[in-house]
Amino acid sequence: MNNFEYLQATRYLDHDHESVQAYARQVCAGASTTRERAIALYYAVRDDIRYDPYACTLNADSLRASQVLAQERSYCVGKAVLLAAVGRAAGIPTRLGFADVCNHFSSPQLTQLMGTNIFYYHGYADFFLEGRWIKLTPAFNRELCEKMKSPALEFDGEHDAIFQEISSGQSQLRMEYLRYHEPMSDLDPDLIFTEYARRYPKLIAALG
């Protein structure tokens, strides 16, 4: 596979930005292998950037990796963009993955605002490691998971890390992936925002 496309800085995966470069260097300091760099970057983005679904706006620039890093909070798409960008900064081919998921982590308030607990175009990052694409969801930071009394999603550098578990009473639920979309080498906010407008009219009205 020609990895050139998946290492380039783009409008949204702006890993040529000084802050993104510095963050990637800091996180990867001491990591001696590609696998170790991937693991370090995953945990850094997962926990340094607070998951905030209410950070969703119709301002596409808020989803640029450098902006997500500066804001220190975002929802799944922004966190996936940042993870993909710092992966490229560390020399790892990356792309953005999207899926429609049933999210049991959603609060009753957010479910009411969205009108569903199905998240369309949930974002994650694909890392190309040892000849294959590995899916990573850095969305839910450890602090949030502890508040929800659920285990944070771990990554071992070899297997997909996308099936977030959610404690519900005596049972343990997992995020359900209903449909995968075509991966992207850069974010297409127009496509995603159009889907949001179709699926979440009440939310879009609230966003103005």
> What confidence score (pLDDT) does residue 54 get?
86
The pLDDT tens digits of the residues spanning 73-127 come to 999 999 999 999 999 999 999 999 999 998 766 778 888 888 888 999 999 999 9
Question: Over 60: is that where the pLDDT of 39 sits?
Answer: yes
CATH classification of the domain holding 72: 3.10.620.30
Give me the domain span that covers residue 54. Answer: 4-207
Do residues 162 and 46 touch, judged by C-beta distance below 8 A? no
Per residue in 159-204, pLDDT tens? 999 987 665 554 556 678 999 999 999 999 999 999 999 999 988 8
Q: Could you please report the per-residue DSSP string of 73-140?
A: EE-HHHHHHHHHHHHHHTT--EEEEEEEEE-TT--HHHHHHHTSSEEEEEEEEEEEETTEEEEE---S
Provide the domain count of the chain: 1
